[in-house]
Amino acid sequence: MIVEGKQIGEILAHVVKSLHASRILVKTLVVPPDPSLLESMRSIGYTVEAAVADVIDNSVAAASRNIDILISSSGPFELSIVDDGSGMSRDEAVDAMRLAATSPTKLRRPDDLGRFGLGLKTASLSQCRVLTVVSKKDGVVTALQWSLDHVIATGDWELIELDPDDYTSSVGWSQLAECESGTWVHWGNLDQLMITEGDDQSAFDQVAVRVRDHVALVFHLFNSGDGVPKISFSMNGSPIEPIDPFMSQSRLTTHTPWESINIDGENVRLMAYTLPYLSRLSSTDRARVLRLGGLRETQGFYVYRSGRLVIWGTWFRVLLRSEMAKLTRVRVDIPNTLDHLWALDVKKSSADPPPVIRRRLSELAKTMMAPSQRVQEFRGRKVQIHSTVDYMWTPLTNGDEFHYEVNPKHPSIEAFVHVLPDDLKRQFELVLKDLQNTFPIIDAHNRLSGDSVPSTPQNDELVSRAVSAWTLAATHGVNRDVFITGLCRSDPYALEPDFEAKLRKAIHE
């Protein structure tokens, strides 16, 4: 007798039903975790700045408009995060303090930055032994506390409910008291933080700087209101200015149009940015870019989940970090409905793209880094190497080898050779050969890899040099217009704004 697949299924269902009815299934046991689990969970791998960001996620989800990070300026060290969001009722606060209060498979609001229902507890207790949450909603204040020492001493999952006298003297209460609604998260007994960072004030101050910069980067879209609700962030009352890793407001930054990749009915959006070379930036913008780290270390994909930056400075193994790509930053926007595909971790600081996205990223990677490569080949120039500009140096390649030669057709070289006596012209050619053969490529590479910025002459200095060159050329009958036109299309004069007008005025004077 041949049994069809459908029949097999029906037979198995009948067997399972019979087993249930006859109660011969294996017994099950309910084994709740020991309360010491809280102690074990401290080693999940949070840095203090990632822990603060994880707590802030809850403030963002609560529709806060102001979030203040409070760090004590002297011992005992304390850290608080206060928001003016919707706040929580007593039942909601108790639920928020429960481990894994929300399933990661549950459908979340598009603006919900949570994932596993663990962040508030695991992030906070990774740094401190006492987590206090005070929330105000509809005029009712609820104060709850997890104390690791209390849980271990009692051997039970006892959440402490506090009286006002227990928390009103701590850093942060006065700010919450002024809000109609909101939540205050307080970290007390920062033992883990002191073990990893040190127990003196200078170490704590350095932690504050790192936290400030991390928040400025991770939540920069919220801080500037770029496509998400605007939120003002501050530290001890001082505003935290956003750090835009793309310098998207700079006229020197270029970017591609948005590209969408559809997966499971949801759109993942990508946009590639090419940063300007450091020498083109003001000292303020340069310092802001380098606060993230070196350009080489911070190139790559920047993944945003519902507007929150979750991982950055990686090519996800579809491309190697290189000098040529170090100005490339690719923004990747993903919805929280695709968390399961991106293997987002508990700390929301690590993610890995699904195969369909990885394949497309691999296809796009080289195209995305091409603008950065062009900028690197002739740093800071707006024009391509095959343009009408005459460059002083010409790169030549031979297989994997390359070298630079001085361009003999450069107007400055031609003008100088023109006035040399014949017996010195050959000697000058030898000098140029020595110059190009001793070009300090390795030293220049090392300096640029460390994001040192080459100095460039100012506009007035270039005009002065051009006037001196004209004075010499004029004595040998060189036509003025031919001289000016040739000089203004050559490197470095061609890139200076209004250079020709300034030169003509200086020559006339």
User: Do 221 and 262 sit in the same domain of this protein?
Assistant: no
Asked if residue 91 belongs to a domain, the reply is yes
Contact 253, 246 (CB under 8 A): yes
Q: Are residues 416 and 498 both part of a single domain?
A: yes
Query: Is 365 found in the same domain as 398?
Result: no
26-30, 194-198, 302-306, 434-438: least confident range: 26-30
> In this structure, are 330 and 454 located in the same domain?
no
- Write the CA distances from 205 to 79, 192, 327, 395, 430, integer angstroms: 12, 16, 31, 48, 58
User: Both 213 and 263 in a single domain?
Assistant: no
Q: What would the DSSP string read from start to end of 106-117? A: S---TT---SSS
Q: Which residues have a Cβ under 8 Å from the Cβ of 123 and sit 6 or more positions away?
A: 46, 50, 51, 52, 54, 55, 347
- Same-domain check for residues 199 and 333: no
Indicate the pLDDT class of residue 379, thresholds 50, 70 and 90. Answer: very low
CB 64 within 8 A of CB 85: yes
For residue 3, name the pLDDT band (cuts at 50, 70, 90): very low
342 domain-assigned:
yes
Where is average pLDDT lowest: 50-59, 205-214, 344-353, 392-401?
344-353
Task: Please report the pLDDT score of residue 36 as a whole number.
Answer: 74
Would residue 501 count as lying in a domain? yes
Q: What SS3 state is found at 314?
A: strand
Q: Does the pLDDT value for residue 375 go beyond 50?
A: yes
pLDDT confidence of 345, banded at 50, 70, 90? low
Is residue 265 domain-shared with residue 193, that is, in the same domain? no
Q: Are residues 362 and 397 in the same domain?
A: no
CB 44, CB 126: distance < 8 Å? yes
The pLDDT mean for the chain works out to 80
Q: Give the E-state strand segments of 72-220 in sequence order.
A: 79-83, 130-137, 140-147, 160-161, 182-188
Do the beta carbons of residue 329 and residue 300 sit within 8 Å? yes
In this predicted model, what pLDDT tens digit does every residue of 248-272 receive, in sequence order?
888 888 898 998 888 878 888 989 9
Contact 365, 357 (CB under 8 A): no
- Where do runs of H (alpha helix) occur along 186-230? 191-197, 201-218, 220-224
How many Å apart are CA 211 and CA 44, to the nearest integer?
19
pLDDT tens digits along 37-90: 777 777 777 889 999 999 999 999 999 999 999 998 777 788 999 999 999 999
Question: Is residue 184 in a domain?
Answer: yes
Within a domain: 26: no
pLDDT beyond 70 at 348: no
| pTM, rounded to two decimals | 0.69
Whether residue 418 sits in one domain with residue 485? yes
Q: What is the pLDDT of residues 183-230, one digit of tens each?
A: 999 999 888 888 888 778 888 888 999 999 999 999 999 999 999 999
Average pLDDT over residues 132-143: 94
Task: Between 495 and 215, name the one with better pLDDT.
Answer: 215
Adjacent-strand bridge partners of 439:
none
Residue 21 or residue 260, greater confidence? 260
Same domain, 226 and 293: no
Percentage of the chain beyond pLDDT 70 is: 81
CATH number at residue 362: 3.30.230
Q: Is 13 part of any domain? A: no
Instruction: Say yes or no to pLDDT of 318 above 60.
Output: yes
The β-bridge partners of 401 are 398
Query: Of 185, 208, 239, which closes a domain?
Result: 239
In this structure, the answer to whether residues 152 and 296 fall within a common structural domain is: no
d(CA 351, CA 313): 12
**Selected residue with higher pLDDT from 54 and 293:** 54
CATH of the domain at 180: 3.30.565.10
Q: How many domains does the chain have?
A: 3
User: For residue 258, what is the DSSP state?
Assistant: P
Residue 399 lies in a domain: yes
More confident position, 192 or 308: 308
Please name the residue that has the structure tokens 């663990």.
118
Residue 23: pLDDT over 90: no
Last residue of a domain, one of 350, 377, 404: 377
Asked whether residue 426 falls in the same domain as residue 460, the answer is: yes
Q: Which of 331, 353, 377 is the last residue of a domain?
A: 377
CA distances from 65 to 71, 84, 305 (A): 20, 6, 19
Q: Does residue 163 fall inside a structural domain?
A: yes
Please give the residue range of the domain that contains residue 365.
254-377
